[in-house]
Each structure stands twice: as C-alpha cells, then as structure tokens.
Amino acid sequence: MALSVRRMPDAFARWEFVTVRPRHARRGKTGHVERLIGSIRRECLDHMVVFGEADLRRLLKSYASYYNRVRTHLSLNKNAPLFRPRQTVGNIMSIPILGGLHHLYVRV
C-alpha cells in the first residue's frame, strides 16, 4: 500500500521518536567509537556485499581478528595490538584476509 506525501506524517505520528543524547561522562568516548565504525566501514564493509545477518557477523568477526592481530596502528608505533614475533629470516609470503581485501605478509 503506497502512502501519499500528505499522509506520510500521519503514518509516522503513531510512532514515538526519541532523541538520545550521550551523558556527559560518555561524550569523550563517542569520537573513538565513530572512528572505529568509520574504519570498519571504509576498510571492510564498503568493499563487500553482505547477504544477511550471519554473513555480516562472519565478516565482522574476521575483520576484528585482522584489526587486532595484523593491522598496524600508528598509535602503537606501527605495531598490532596483539603481540606478534618479529620475523627476519625466510622468503616473504602473502596470505589473503577477508577474501583478498587485505593481506598478511609472513616469512616462511
């Protein structure tokens, strides 16, 4: 059933919209959350086609693993949050992550 433009406000009138503002203690944290969400969107979701909630959960789980184990962070002097040993000997091999969107380079 299509609604006319004139009846649109009537259709929304029965719903109660509430604007939620962060409490003062949380205002400083919203920037960090927005930055993380932006990273997830730019580095993962903008390049993928998601076919449902289960697929989205799988992608986000894989991205979280990549983000914490592989991805370099400037605030950590270009290191990953989780410890990884330095590899200095061997040939360099590329391991695709997230279907080849990102890569992990290791020595073998």
Give CA–CA dist 3/10, Å, rounded.
10
- The whole-number pLDDT of residue 62 equals 92
- The whole-number pLDDT of residue 1 equals 47
37, 39, 40, 44: CA torsion to nearest 10: 160
The pLDDT tens digits of the residues spanning 9-60 come to 555 566 666 666 666 555 566 778 888 889 999 999 999 999 999 999 999 9
DSSP string covering the chain? -PPPTTTHHHHHHTS--------GGGGGGHHHHHHHHHHHHHHTGGG----SHHHHHHHHHHHHHHHHHT--BGGGTSB-SS------SS-EEEEEETTTTEEEEEE-
**CB-based contact 105:91 (threshold 8 Å):** no
- The whole-number pLDDT of residue 42 equals 92
pTM metric for this prediction: 0.64
- Of 6-10, 40-44, 74-78, where does mean pLDDT reach its minimum? 6-10
- The whole-number pLDDT of residue 18 equals 65
Rounded to 5 degrees, φ, ψ at 106 are -130, 160
Average pLDDT, the chain: 80
Rounded to 5 degrees, φ, ψ at 99 are 70, 25
